[in-house]
Amino acid sequence: LREHEEFTKVKNIATIELGRYEIETWYFSPFPPEYNDSVKLYFCEFCLNFMKRKEQLQRHMRKCDLKHPPGDEIYRSGTLSMFEVDGKKNKVYGQNLCYLAKLFLDHKTLYYDVDLFLFYVLCECDDRGCHMVGYFSKEKHSEESYNLACILTLPPYQRKGYGKFLIAFLVSNGSLNYWRQEDAYELSKKEGKVGTPERPLSDLGLLSYRGYWTRVLLDILKKHKGNISIKELSDMTAIKAEDILTTLQSLELIQYRKGQHVICADPKVLDRHLKAAGRGGLEVDVSKLIWTPYK
Ligand code: ACO
Ligand code: ZN
């Protein structure tokens, strides 16, 4: 088993070409055996088909008629668009996306069963088409309350706030959007469940989630002057109670009294944390959302 684990860690593909970017990969991804002898792959940035040679890609680009991910555009604000891709209706696209994503995800198993997933692909659009920035995937019917399977921002787009956007989008999609409470309750009625990302989280994944949870919770605690329970926070934010507890513990806002965890939000401490937390980056404008939950 150990040997197997180590074997799978050996990076096979060193770089990929995707749209106008050449990107160095991070991890092993189990491409089909006929790609074993390649160190570089050429992806069509729209259908995500991958090829061994540049000329093949050029030939492909002349006949590929996609200019955006397949599926429904469910959000558009300025140049930013989100597409919802059903893995069942777009199997090859779903599989291609998983091969691509695995190059940047360490401890994820690759799901061949893309039927069971929805993929939310975020794009920056211009007159040449919609260029993929990142995505998250979500199980259509999750047994546990997981609402996120994988999240990725492609390396050229990282540290610009897209990860936070994807997380906020996921949360506002399934539940309350804390930026705009009045709309949010509407959304919450549409799907209304509490969620948490699938474990294990990568270091970068945990950092991004923690950052998101921290900001959301601090904002509400500030508004309510700390007079609120973990249960109420969970109902308002759709964040799972355990995630709220660990986040608030890491901020030292929890005390254990008479066998119970209670929130102790000293206004000064809140302000200090709020200052350190920074702002949310790209906001999700819920009025730009075209959303019906998956049936
Ligand atoms: N170093 C330190 N902190 C970081 C880094 C980094 N390289 N990258 C992100 N962060 C933290 C920061 O706190 C950042 O906020 P800040 O910029 O205000 O300081 C916060 O995370 C979010 O930054 P964003 O710009 O919004 O996120 P980004 O677009 O870079 O995407 C993501 C974050 C998706 C985790 C990205 O790093 C990625 O795709 N990593 C590879 C794939 C991965 O690990 N995904 C999560 C796996 S777990 C799962 O899928 C359930
Ligand atoms: Zn194509």
* Enzyme catalytic residues: 198
ipTM of the complex, rounded to two decimals:
0.96
Q: Ligand 1 pocket check: which of 142, 158, 206 to mutate, most ligand atoms within 8 Å of Cβ?
A: 158
172: Cα separation from own chain's centroid: 12
Integer Cα distance of 115 and 64 in angstroms: 23
Q: pLDDT tens digits, residue range 254-267?
A: 999 999 899 998 89
Q: Ligand 1 pocket check: which of 27, 147, 159 to mutate, most ligand atoms within 8 Å of Cβ?
A: 159
pLDDT category at 90 given cuts 50, 70, 90 is very high
Distance 63 CA to ligand 2 centre (A): 8
- Long-range contact set of residues 278-282: C-beta below 8 Å, sequence gap at least 24: 278/215, 279/215, 280/161, 280/164, 280/168, 280/179, 280/212, 280/215, 281/160, 281/161, 281/164, 281/165, 282/80, 282/160, 282/161, 282/162, 282/164, 282/165
Distance 136 CA to ligand 2 centre (A): 21
62 alpha carbon, closest ligand? 2
**What residues flank ion ligand 2 with Cβ within 5 A?**
44, 46-47, 64
Instruction: Tell me what the pLDDT averaged over the chain comes to.
Output: 85
Q: pLDDT tens digits, residue range 95-110?
A: 999 999 999 998 776 6
Q: Which amino acid is at 190?
A: K
Domains of the chain: 2-158 (3.40.630.30), 201-275 (1.10.10.10)
Q: What is the pTM of this model?
A: 0.87
